[in-house]
């Protein structure tokens, strides 16, 4: 999004697909928590879902990126059908995290995607 914003033109972003953005750093921390917690190999044969808390559309996500970056870029929400891709995308792809929450109990810690986006942008800005 930030690369697209450099030209200053309006950007069309899909607004009817809902998901939970996930910061790779948060995922890595959760994987380490799982490894440390699972000394008895209880989790070994389970499939666990993880993503940051909260939901948003791609449009909402782009809007937050620009807002947190103090960029005034015109965003235009579009429908999935207006942005054809070979891959079919579900309109609602939020993962059910109840299994990992129940297994880890008090060891489960998760940030909201907006807080993680702030952290990710901070890391990105330091590297530029």
Q: What is the pTM for the complete model shown?
A: 0.90
pLDDT in tens, the chain (128 residues): 999 999 999 999 999 999 999 999 999 999 888 888 876 677 777 889 999 999 999 999 999 999 999 999 999 999 999 988 898 889 999 999 999 998 888 888 899 999 999 999 999 988 86
Per-residue pLDDT tens digits for 109-118 = 899 999 999 9
Parent domain of 20: 2-127
Nearest to 55 by CA among 16, 83, 88: 16
Q: Please state at what angle helix 113-127 crosses helix 58-68, rounded to 10 degrees.
A: 50
Q: What is the CATH number of the domain that holds 69?
A: 3.40.50.720
What local confidence, expressed as pLDDT, does residue 65 receive?
98
Number of domains in the chain: 1
CB neighbour list of residue 74: distance below 8 Å, 6 or more residues apart:
9, 10, 11
């Amino acid at each position: 999004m930030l690369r697209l914003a450099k030209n200053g033109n309006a950007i069309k972003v899909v607004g009817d697909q809902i998901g939970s953005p996930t910061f790779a750093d948060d995922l890595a921390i959760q994987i380490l928590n799982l490894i440390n917690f699972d000394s008895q190999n209880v989790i070994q044969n389970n499939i666990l879902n993880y993503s940051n808390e909260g939901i948003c559309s791609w449009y909402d996500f782009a809007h937050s990126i620009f807002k947190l970056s103090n960029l005034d870029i015109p965003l235009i929400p579009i429908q999935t059908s207006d942005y054809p891709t070979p891959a079919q995308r579900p309109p609602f792809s939020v993962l059910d995290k109840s299994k990992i929450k129940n297994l880890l109990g008090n060891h489960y810690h998760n940030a909201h995607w907006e807080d993680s986006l702030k952290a990710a942008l901070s890391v990105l800005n330091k590297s530029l």
